[in-house]
Structures are given as structure tokens and as C-alpha cells.
Amino acid sequence: MPINDLTEIEAEAARQLAICNACRYCEGLCAVFPALQRRTLFESGDIGQLANLCHNCKGCYHACQFIPPHAFAVNLPQVLSEARFESYAAYAWPRPLGRLFENNGVVVSLIAALGVAALLIGVGLTHAPTDLFAVRAGPGAFYQVIPWGLMAGLAGGVTLFAVLAMAIGAVRFWRHTGETGPATAGAAGPAVRAAGDALTLRNLGGGGRGCNDKDEGFSTLRRRLHHFMFYGFMLCFASTTVAWIYDHFLGRIAPYDVFSAPVLLGTTGGIGMMIGTGGLLWLKFVTDQAPTARRLLGADVALLLLLFLVAATGLLLLGLRETPVMALLLAIHLGLVLALFLILPYSKFVHGLYRSLALLRDRRERAASLHAHSKG
């Protein structure tokens, strides 16, 4: 895409990046600045790549001599955050849904509320009031509340839609940033190093001392909280996968005992998600607001709160599954889970996918640059 086709946010990002490229004071802070120096002009795909490569550690803001009220008005964390959010809608499939969800915490909240309400109403209509609060225990107890076919159909359909939408978004990002071949093509070295960058969140270490989580002081708190959230989510996903294997291949029907693999994985993951999302929610409000994009706060908070509630209701359901409130908790938990998976392709959650691809592209660029220098 030619540079004159940049959006307003991309054009502002390009202006600030050109100043940074001339200054180069922050070149050692994170992966963005070496990638920036490999470019002289900034097309739309370059902005998308650099915006998703940015981990928003804010170190460059606190190191910069050109931040407002300087006439150059450089605020790279803020403008790259806005460019990232704009890219989520641009890569989304179907695109109208991406535009609907863009920066809109109200929509996220409404979808979550509607998901819960729909399941609550459905469960209420299929059970008499006295039956709804009956104590159920043993294998198949959950399916006495919501039939297995309905539960599996809803979960499977929403999950497949989310996976398809995110896969199409990933392909759009990859092509927009200038890559034509598949992400799996090429040497394994850059892919292995990019995977290490993504899984360790190395770039949330800033230049090595940590990020500016709350102010100009360095900290690794945000990195640790992201680890709690991400690996907690992955443990919950592993719990669901193991439960599916139990049900389909071993003939063991949920709910499972406290010391079973699905319960241990889900409990550990749920606690991790609550620590991570709760801590990140707290940081949203105590951090220095100057380098942040305040208009994006609602969407960020809504997603973190939804993830927190999914984990919290899952743990509550585990603890109270043999009590009269099990049916209501099951409906609320599944409603939140369905809402979460519906909005995944259009929320900040996809930054993990695009950032991983940006890290892969960056590692490929580095390898190509080293190869060119060695031959030169």
C-alpha cells in the first residue's frame, strides 16, 4: 500500500517513527527500534508490523526528549497502541464485526451479558423452579441441566467460528505486512527464536531492566502478570482438551473428581487467570496515563473483566457443583465462555496472535540482514 494511503492514525505513527529513526536514542530498548532502523519509509504494512511488535512497555516514552509539550509531540506508546487497535478491525473477518467491536467495551459487555442471559433463560424454561435448584451429583450431573448435545453444539460451533475468524485475520496480517509465503516456510531458526520471544515475553523486559509499568521506575510486574494470564488460559484450555479425551475416548463423564487431571489443570489455570487479569486491571488504573491511549481503556477493561469472570465462575462452579446453585452457576459460566469465544477474533485478545507473527517476521528480517552483511 502506498504511503499516501495511510489512515490518519498510521500517518501520525509514520511521522513520529521518522523522528525516532533520526534520533535513535532508544535503539536498545526493545525490538521495535532495530526493526525501525531497517526502514526508511513507512507504508501501511510497516506500521502494522511495528505496532504489533511493540509490547507497550513505555520505556521509550520516559526516555524521550521530544514528548509533549515539545513541538515534535512524540508519544510512541500511545500512537502505536491506537494503530494496533485499528489493525484488529482492519484484519478482522467478517470486517463489519471488526468495525463494530473496535475500541468498544460496551459491545463486549453487552455480548457477555446477552450470552449469560440467553443460557439462564434457556435453562429456566426447560426446568421447573423446584427442579432448577435441585442438588445434582455424580457423572452426568451437568448434562441434567444443559443436555450434552446442546452444550457440545454451542461450544463446538462458537469455537470453530473463532478459530476460522482468527486464522483469516492472521493471513490478512501476514500479507499486509509484506509476506507472501506461508509463515511456516523458511529456516527453522527464526521461527524457534520468535517462539521463544513470544512464550517468554522477552520484550516486556524493556531494555533488560523491565518496563515502566506505573511510572518512570522499572518493573517486571506486567510481564509476570501476563504470564499468569496467558499460561493460566492455556492450562484451562488443556483442562478442556483432557476432559474431551476423557469423555470421548475413555468413557468418563463429567464432572470429574477433585484430583483428576481436568480439575487440577482447570483449577491451577483459573487461579492463574484471576491473578493475571486482576493485576492487569489494577495496573490499567494506577499507571501513568500520559503514554496510554485513553479511548481504548473501555475495550481493554471489558476484555480483562470478562476473562476474570470466566475464571472466577469456573472456580465457583467447581466448589459449589453439588449444591442447589449449580444449575445457575453452570449457565452463567457457560454464557461467559461462549461470549468470550464470540468476541475473541475482534478483541485485544488477537494481539497475541498478531504479535507472535510480528516477532516471527522480525526474526526473519534480522536473519536476512545478518546474511546480507556476511555476504557483503
pLDDT digits (tens, 9 = 90+) for 307-359: 999 999 999 999 999 999 999 899 899 888 988 898 889 888 899 999 999 99
pLDDT tens, 55-84?
998 989 999 999 999 999 999 999 999 999
Angle, CA of 137, 141 and 143, to the nearest 5°: 175
d(CA 22, CA 25): 9
d(CA 18, CA 272): 40
- Report whether pLDDT(105) > 60: yes
- Report whether pLDDT(1) > 70: no
pLDDT tens, 257-293?
999 999 999 999 999 999 999 999 999 999 989 999 8
The residue ranges of every structural domain in the chain are: 3-91, 95-364
- Which helix (DSSP H) or strand (DSSP E) does residue 143 occupy? none
Q: Given pLDDT bands bounded at 50, 70 and 90, which one contains residue 3?
A: very low
Q: Given pLDDT bands bounded at 50, 70 and 90, which one contains residue 151?
A: confident
Average pLDDT, the chain: 89
pLDDT at 4 (0 to 100): 45
Averaged pLDDT, 107-113 = 76
> In this structure, what are the phi and psi dihedrals at residue 153, rounded to the nearest 5 degrees?
-65, -45
Averaged pLDDT, 137-161 = 90
3-state secondary structure of 102: coil
Averaged pLDDT, 144-148 = 90
For residues 18 and 72, is the Cβ–Cβ distance under 8 A?
A: no
